[in-house]
Amino acid sequence: MLQKLFFLKKSQKSNYIIYKKLISNKSLTPESSQNKWLEDCGLPINDNINWTAAYLLAKKCTKSTKLIVFQFKFLHRRVPTNNFLFRIGLQGDEKCSFCHTSSESIIHLFWSYHQTSHFWNKLTEWLKNVNLLPRDFALTNITALCLRPDISQFALLINYYFLLAQYHVWLTKTIDDHPNLMHFICTLKSQYEIETKSGDTKKWKPLTGYMRI
């Protein structure tokens, strides 16, 4: 035992090794939320989703702590939709903040609500027009919601856009608005200015000509 501790102390990665060991003893795979995602997206329960890739995606795409924290809550289904707040007794109505008829579940709010669906279609068309997506690309819920991230040539930028699009949908709910492509593009341009000025230019290179304010 003492020999193992001595080895860890000398190792440059000792803190990381100890952290991973402690986490492995305490953490549990969130099977309930994973299975619920499969159900919501109409996938078989044994579908081969790489959950590790999904959980690590935000950190690969952005340094924004807001996006990283939001995506963590989103994937673990802890974004406070009206349906969620109703189930835990913090709200008396589970109706959608947008349509006011359907239950505001996470899949309804971020994908199936008709205004959200329209926004995703407009965003996909825009990405095709700026040559980030091929003309025959068909967006699915598991890609838009970053459960199965895009793996194409421009995957880093595309997945970042989808992450930011989810956050845009959420923000429009909080200010009683609707998802809007033009507002979203304005947000993109602001993020472009912030990130490129801080030296993060590689990700944005394919769209440099489109992002000037």
Q: Whole-angstrom Cα distance, residue 112 to residue 109?
A: 7
pLDDT at 41 over 90: yes
Q: Please, which pLDDT band fits residue 44 given cuts at 50, 70 and 90?
A: confident
Q: Please, which pLDDT band fits residue 136 given cuts at 50, 70 and 90?
A: very high
Q: How far is CA 17 from the centre of its chain?
A: 28
What average pLDDT does the segment 6-17 reach?
Answer: 53
CA separation, residue 56 to residues 51, 60, 147, 183 (Å): 9, 7, 11, 27
Q: What is the pLDDT of residues 162-210, one digit of tens each?
A: 999 999 999 999 887 889 999 999 999 999 988 888 888 888 888 877 7
- Inter-residue contact 204 to 192 (CB < 8 Å): yes
- The domain limits of the chain are 49-210
Residue 47 backbone dihedrals phi, psi, to 5 degrees: -60, 140
pLDDT at residue 174 in the model:
86
Identify the CA nearest to 34 among candidates 22, 52, 20: 52
Q: What is the pLDDT of residues 54-103, one digit of tens each?
A: 999 999 999 899 999 999 999 999 999 999 999 999 988 999 999 999 99
Ramachandran region of residue 62, left (φ > 0), alpha (ψ -120 to 50) or beta?
Answer: beta
pLDDT at residue 96 in the model:
94
Q: What is the pTM of this model?
A: 0.84
